[in-house]
């Protein structure tokens, strides 16, 4: 079992060889100790929105692994050629219930990488998320942003628009054209 520490996997942070995979919850559960330790580390210095805290990404993800809110939940993961986890976007719906046009997403992250490579990996993950949700038949994504960094990245690079309501200020929308 991996401990929640600030230890990092030793790898070439500028390495360009990686793959993006759509995986089921069993894959994530089988590597949960490693993922939990990574989430604890990478969210250590994050500025969280609303009432989110450092433990929320792991808690929310694990809850949806054990008791999914809906059918067809998958996860998008970036792996290097040695199967080290570089990043992921969890809780991605791949099944659209009748009459439902929008979906919500889970948490995303990357490990500590060279900034250009980090953006490359994140862009690849997010592009796959959009493809999967669009292929499922969703017209849009309506979600919360857990961190300021995530909100800035998804709004600037992927067109998420801040769409607050009276009930929920932290609300973001992405139209899947």
Query: Residue 5: pLDDT above 60?
Result: no
Give the C-alpha separation, 26 to 35, whole Å.
Answer: 13
Reading the block at residue 103, the tokens are: 């979906």
Print burial letters for 75-91: b (CB count within 10 Å at least 16), e (below 16). Answer: bbbbbbeeebbbbbbbb
Across 85-160, the runs of DSSP E, i.e. the strands, are 85-93, 102-103, 108-110, 140-143
pLDDT (average), residues 160-170: 94
Give the C-alpha separation, 38 to 78, whole Å.
Answer: 13
Q: Which domains does the chain have, with CATH numbers?
A: 19-175 (3.40.630.30)
The per-residue pLDDT for 14 is: 53
Residue with tokens 């600030």: 6
The per-residue pLDDT for 3 is: 45
pLDDT digits (tens, 9 = 90+) for 110-161: 999 999 999 999 999 999 999 999 999 999 999 999 999 999 999 999 999 9
Confidence (pTM): 0.88
pLDDT digits (tens, 9 = 90+) for 11-68: 555 557 899 999 999 999 999 999 999 999 999 989 898 888 899 999 999 999 998 8
The per-residue pLDDT for 12 is: 52
The per-residue pLDDT for 177 is: 84
């Amino acid at each position: 079992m991996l401990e929640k520490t600030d230890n990092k996997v030793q790898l070439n942070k500028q390495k360009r060889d990686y793959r993006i995979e759509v995986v089921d919850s069993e894959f994530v559960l089988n590597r949960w100790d490693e993922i939990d330790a990574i989430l604890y580390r990478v969210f250590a210095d994050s500025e969280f929105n609303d009432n989110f805290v450092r433990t929320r990404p792991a808690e929310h993800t694990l809850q949806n692994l054990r008791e999914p809110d809906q059918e067809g939940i998958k996860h998008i993961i970036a792996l290097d050629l040695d199967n080290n986890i570089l990043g992921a976007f969890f809780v991605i719906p791949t099944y659209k219930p009748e009459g439902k046009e929008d979906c919500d997403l889970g948490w995303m992250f990357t490990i500590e990488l060279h900034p250009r490579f980090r953006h490359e990996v994140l862009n690849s993950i997010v592009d796959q998320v959009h493809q999967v949700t669009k292929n499922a038949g969703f017209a849009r994504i309506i979600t919360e942003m857990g961190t300021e960094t995530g909100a800035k990245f998804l709004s600037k690079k992927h067109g998420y628009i801040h769409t607050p309501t009276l009930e929920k200020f932290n609300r973001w929308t992405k139209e899947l054209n």
